[in-house]
Structure 1
Amino acid sequence: MRAVVFAYHNVGVRCLQVLLARGVDVALVVTHADNPAEAIWFDSVAALCAERGIPYITPTDPASPELFAQVRAAAPDYLFSFYYRHMLPAALLALAPRGAYNMHGSLLPKYRGRAPVNWAVLHGETETGATLHEMTAKPDAGAIIAQVAVPILPDDTAHEVFGKVTVAAEQALWQVLPALLAGSAPRLPNALASGSYFGGRTPADGRIDWRQPAQVIYNLHRAVAPPYPGAWTVIGEETYTIAKARLEVRSARDFAQNLAPGLAVADGRILGIGGDGRVLHIHALLNGGRAVSPIDLQHALATHPALPIPPKKGVEIQ
């Protein structure tokens, strides 16, 4: 069986390796050129292709006639998309007579759309996973072929959960691929009405609203903690980003001084006080990439008290 594979990121690398291990003839890989403005913390599909001698290209427009001609010339039986960042036109999908399949980082139909792992952590989910599904013109809407679930522990960051989802994607594809190639894979309904759809996130969406309950603030931190841009707040004209934190058992009332919502220093520690009085112990706080000590923060707060400013809302489509 021949396949054209659209792939990027760790999921792209691992799932491409599964295809190769199962004996699929990968005729062409379509990936992205890394963006120099983006922090590249993940593995490279292009590097894997170079190592394995697989032809690969990095077009900017998935709807271009040139890409269509290259995919058609590869004469694929199957088309796969593994964390490729663009929607593929229906005309491209039709070039694969035995089907086009995408690996999505959630338990569909929940968290269709962009950044599914980050959204799941942000909403305090206790479980997510990876889903292989048929590709259609509508995003993440085709029949479900395979799913593997993973837990989200209370202190897991999105980066840690993404590692689990990568393994889940590898397992899902490995388990169902023989049946898929034999034409006997299951096609389960993707009940969109019982799911959800979310748009992309930007660094601006990480701004903390200290009036929110501490658990909500903690979930935001976990969802965007490094290597993502981080949850942040402003003191004066300076931006402070939480790099590492834990939700405390104690509340603001357990400290000697009166602690208002926002950043604070107490008992020689940096704290974040939620609107419900619960406390985050901030183990690492950054300002311009530089570590901020409790004394540094105390001085900044004395000069410019922080205000519980609401964040800019991200794009959210239900």
Structure 2
Amino acid sequence: MIDSGIKDAANSAKPSAVVFAYHSVGVRSIKTLLARGIDIKLVVSHEDSATETIWFESVAALCEERGIPRITPDNPNTPEVIAQIAALQPDFIFSFYYRNMLSKDILALAKRGAYNLHGSLLPKYRGRVPVNWAVLHGETETGATLHEMTVKPDAGAIIGQTAVPILPDDTAFEVFGKLTVAAEQTLWNALPAMIAGTAPRIPNDLSRGSYFGGRKPEDGRIDWSKSAQDVYNLHRAVAPPYPGAFTDIHGKHFIIEKARLINHSTTKVPANLPQGVSVVDNVIFGVCGDGKAIEILALQHEGKTLDKEALKLFFA
């Protein structure tokens, strides 16, 4: 059976779009637009950074495969880029995990609206790296939101949302995988009404959420005086392939690769361990300010996971 949204688009001139996209969300969303009959005139993206771990899908590879023109300006808001987009006369402008803000001059070029996919249930967690912030704060749910773009970030009317659970042991990487699917579902479900001009516009009440900035690798430093749950949430929020939660011991730098929150009713932690990292019988404990602990299942030093012999060397 042919989806009615695809059939309707095929029976008339295809709506056109300029797409700002990067990362796996960018790849899946571009594929969704194409499947819904959107004519993508241009993709604006980023060059991969040599200093970043590239664990996600490639917008560049997809554009090459599908023959879609792609540019990667450092600044998308220059007169040259604006003129290039204006010449294409796009019906829609979409932003999918693109990292730069778009100016009002660019947003005004979309005849039928400019829309962004954001990785939270707006208005909560507006701004940068919303997945990491949600995990860090111990949220049990997040989601993907399609919304109108305005000059103020993540402030436009909401077109659609899809929620996903954050399980107690989920890392941000695992949650991001769920959100990639949720973003695809949200866009797929919303596009027929957007094309028909009948999409709902739900007010985005900014008083019900907060704005968050970006995070740096240094923000992964562990404060062992905090509760075990807080330390575990930090680990989950920045676990590899993100830079990782870390601690420095005797001038050496250690990153938690894998960990679990110890259930003290079923697992006995050796008594009188100091706050911080201790190794007892090859088991690595991270003792926290509330007297509870996490078990560190894999610990990295200089990019290598420590084996039993290395643990004896560092923690004898």
Match of 1:8 among 8, 22, 31: 22
Amino acid at match of 1:261: Q
- Conservation of the 8 A alpha-carbon contact between 1:235 and 1:300: no
For residues 221 and 124 of structure 2, the distance between their equivalents in structure 1, rounded to whole angstroms, comes to 25
Q: Does 2:217 correspond to 1:203?
A: yes
CA displacement 1:52-95 (0-9 Å, x = unmatched): 00111111101111110111111101100000000000000000
Task: Identify which of 68, 77, 86 aligns with 1:54.
Answer: 68
| Partner-residue secondary structure (3-state), 1:250 | coil
Q: Within 5 Å, which residues of 2 pair with 1:98-113?
A: 98-113=112-127
Deviation at residue 299 of structure 1 after TM alignment? 4.1
Does the 8 Å contact 1:104/1:132 carry over to 2? yes
Q: How far apart, CA to CA, are the structure 2 residues paired with 1:224 and 1:255?
A: 25
**How far apart, in 1, do the equivalents of 2:312 and 2:204 lie?**
52
SS in 2 for 1:108: coil
Q: Which residue of 2 aligns with 1:177?
A: 191
- The one-letter amino acid of 1:234's match is D
Amino acid at match of 1:160: E
Q: Output the CA distance in 1 between the equivalents of 2:46 and 2:269.
A: 51
1:229-280 Cα distance to aligned partner (Å, 9 max, x none): 00000011110000000001128x9444411110011232011111111111
The equivalent residue for 1:35 is: 49
1:248 match: 262
SS, match of residue 260 in structure 2: strand
d(CA) in 1 for partners of 2:309 and 2:249?
Answer: 15
Partners of 2:145 and 2:96 lie apart in 1 by 11
- Alignment partner of 2:177: what SS? helix
Contact 2:279 2:315 in 1 (8 A): no
8 Å CA contact 1:270, 1:294 repeated in 2: no
1:136 matched to 2:150? The reply is: yes
2:175 is matched with: 161
**Deviation at 1:300?**
2.8
Q: How does 1:288-303 map to 2 (within 5 A)?
A: 288-301=302-315
**2:262 alignment partner, SS class:** strand
Q: Give the partner amino acid of 1:93.
A: L
The TM-score, its normalising length taken from structure 1, stands at 0.92
Cα distance change of structure 1 residues 100 and 78 upon mapping to structure 2, 3 Å threshold: same
User: In the alignment, does 2:139 pair up with 1:125?
Assistant: yes
2:240 corresponds, among 201, 218, 226, to 226
Contact 2:89 2:111 in 1 (8 A): no
Q: For structure 2, which runs of at least 5 residues remain unmatched after alignment?
A: 1-14
- Classify 1:277/1:294 alpha carbon distance in 2 versus 1 (closer, same or farther; 3 Å): farther
Quote the offset at 1:294 in angstroms.
4.8
**Secondary structure in 2 aligned to 1:286?**
strand
**Contact between 1:269 and 1:294, CA under 8 Å: does it hold in 2?**
no
Matched, 1:272 2:280: no
Contact 1:31 1:56 in 2 (8 A): yes
RMSD of aligned alpha carbons: 1.5
User: Given that residues 7 and 84 in structure 1 are in contact (C-alpha distance below 8 angstroms), is that contact kept between their aligned partners in structure 2?
Assistant: yes
* Residue matched to 2:4: none
Q: Is the 8 A contact 2:282 2:311 kept in 1?
A: no
> Normalised by the size of structure 2, how large is the TM-score?
0.93
Q: 1:274 to 1:256 in 2, by over 3 A?
A: closer
**1:57-76 superposed matches below 5 A:** 57-76=71-90
The range that moved more, 131-140 or 254-263, is 254-263
Amino acid at match of 1:203: P
Structure 2 CA distance for aligned equivalents of residues 257 and 300 of structure 1: 21
Shift of 1:34: 0.6
Identity %, equivalent residues: 64
Alignment correspondent of 2:104: 90
Gaps of 5+ in 1: 303-318
Q: 1:62 to 1:275 in 2, by over 3 A?
A: same
Question: 1:12 is aligned with what amino acid?
Answer: G
**Structure 1 segment 146-157 matched on structure 2, within 5 A:** 146-157=160-171
Structure 2 Cα separation of the partners of residues 68 and 51 of structure 1: 26
Deviations 1:95-127 (A, max 9, x none): 011100000000000000000000000000000
Aligned partner (choices 15, 18, 22) of residue 32 of structure 2:
18
Aligned residues: 302
Per-residue CA deviations over 1:182-202 (Å, capped at 9, x if unaligned) read 000000010001111100001
Counterpart of 1:305 in structure 2 is none
